[in-house]
Amino acid sequence: MRRNSSPLELEITAAKIRRNVLDICRQRGGYAAQGVALADIAATLYFDELRPDGEGWFKDRFVLSNGHDAIMTYAALAETGHYSLDDLRRINADGSWVDQSPIEGQLGFEMTAGSLGQGPSQSAGLAWALRQQGSDARVYCLFSDGELQEGNTWEGAMFAGHQRLDNLCYIVDNNDMQASGHAADVMGVEPVDAKFEAFGFAARRISGTDVQELMDTFGAARATKDKPFVMICDTRLWDGIDCLQKALPMAHYTAKGAVDWDAGLADINAALAELETQHER
Amino acid sequence: MPTIKPVNEAEIADFAFAHNQIVTVENHQIVTGLGSLVAEIVSDVGGGPRITRMGLPNRWAPGGTLPYIRAQLGLDAETLAKRIAEVAQ
Ligand SMILES: Cc1ncc(C[n+]2csc(CCOP(=O)(O)OP(=O)(O)O)c2C)c(N)n1
Ligand SMILES: [Mg+2]
């Protein structure tokens, strides 16, 4: 716990992020299944782990490498108040300032990440530069299991291990899914933890969907000295929304007509109401 | 032009020096693209036509529908025709 958020409050925020993901994606389709599965990570990052800079943004850096999953960041930044849902509902529409795959300069995005596999090395460079400058800012980089199949990822990891970048925390969305099927079938990435350990990281495997576990793991990352840290999150697409699971396994991109968005929203709103009742007690 | 490398340089030089205005149009990044290739070949000989390069400008493209993105980048038919007509004057 870094900003005194309670697990229940973070769960409520995560439910709202899921609701935003569906609300936004129902307009024209999108990477909704990923957004939903990453909601707990987003809630924990933006509402507990990243330290505010006192000027409306964050002192710690979050780098999204799997740029297509920007929906996670947008949905979270609707909760922080940095984006309005009205703007987000126009995602990727002609003339909208909200791009589905954001480019650098878009509020909330450190780098242009539509071309996958670049975040791990760029964030290692960022962490190194911040340390050179004497900054105590930390760098968090989220990337996908598909990106583990790209060479640049391992160059970044090797650099981070060699430089003992303990201000760097990788978050791997190990959802065993990529555009063309299960990673295990396309080109297996396991054992992810042992690979990073061999590159000089402290590694921990978690579900990625339990806010208490996420807070504990971010705490362990901060407590780790002389090594970069990686948390391998075994998330699953559409996690937490049973009625939408029938889109699996090919839920890489959820087309507008592929799922019953209303049913999904009803599920989330019911879960949210339940959490809010618990909170009032 | 199926490729810019390998390429028949002599053919491009012959074509370029038979004209006083060359316009290159490509649906690729304009830096080190087709237009750059033609400019290199012409400059190796010296003198030659004026070259106007059209293609993806050296900046990020916005999201949106294909016609919208083309128009934003100046690669829609209307903008291309207008620019070529300007050059041809
Ligand atoms: C370098 C590169 N190659 C291909 C693509 C096209 N593409 C978009 S998403 C995706 C894969 C998605 O799988 P994963 O990276 O595991 O992300 P997930 O959808 O599971 O979050 C691909 C291949 C891309 N964006 N960048
Ligand atoms: Mg994946």
Closest CA to B11 of B30, B37, B46: B37
Q: Indicate the top mutation candidate among A68, A172, A237, A238 to test ligand 1's pocket, ranked by most ligand atoms within 8 A of CB.
A: A68
CA A6 to chain centre: 20
Closest CA to A142 of A40, A42, A230, A64: A64
Q: Where are the beta strands (DSSP E) in A183-246?
A: 202-206, 229-233
A100 and B CB contact within 8 Å: yes
pLDDT digits (tens, 9 = 90+) for A46-84: 999 999 999 999 999 999 999 999 999 999 999 999 999
Q: Is A54 within a domain?
A: yes
Is the CB of residue A12 less than 8 Å from the CB of residue A276?
A: yes
Q: Is A1 within a domain?
A: no
pLDDT digits (tens, 9 = 90+) for A197-216: 999 999 999 999 999 999 99
Angle of CA points A82, A41, A174, to nearest 5°: 130
Is B9-88 a CATH 3.40.50.920 domain?
yes
Distance from CA of A85 to the nearest CA of B (A): 18
Closest CA to A75 of A88, A66, A62: A88
A103 and B CB contact within 8 Å: yes
Q: Report the C-alpha gap between A39 and A43 in whole angstroms.
A: 6
DSSP string for B23-53: EEEEEEESTTSHHHHHHHHHHHH-S--EEEE
Structure tokens given for B7: 């390429």
The mean pLDDT of A88-104, rounded to a whole number, is 93
Domains of chain B, residue spans: 9-88
Is the peptide bond preceding residue A191 cis, with omega within 30 degrees of 0? yes
Domain count, chain A: 1
The domain that holds A103 is classified in CATH as 3.40.50.970
Q: Is A2 within a domain?
A: no
What ipTM does the predicted assembly reach? Answer: 0.78
Angle of CA points A214, A123, A187, to nearest 5°: 75
Q: What domain range is A168 assigned to? A: 7-280
Q: Do B63 and A99 touch (CB under 8 A)?
A: yes
What are the φ and ψ backbone dihedral angles of A205, each rounded to 5 degrees? -100, 130
pLDDT at A152 over 70: yes
Q: Is A245 within a domain?
A: yes
Q: Do B63 and A95 touch (CB under 8 A)?
A: no
Considering only A162-171, A212-221, A222-231, B56-65, which range has the smallest mean pLDDT?
B56-65
Share of chain A above pLDDT 70, in %: 100
Q: Do A94 and B64 touch (CB under 8 A)?
A: yes
- Run of H or E including A58: none
Q: Report the C-alpha gap between A198 and A196 in whole angstroms.
A: 5
Is the CB of residue B58 less than 8 Å from the CB of residue B31?
A: yes
B63 and A CB contact within 8 Å: yes
The mean pLDDT of A244-266, rounded to a whole number, is 89
Per-residue pLDDT of chain B (89 residues; tens, 9 = 90+): 889 999 999 999 999 999 999 999 999 999 999 999 999 999 999 999 999 999 999 988 889 999 999 999 999 999 999 999 999 88
Q: Is A225 within a domain?
A: yes
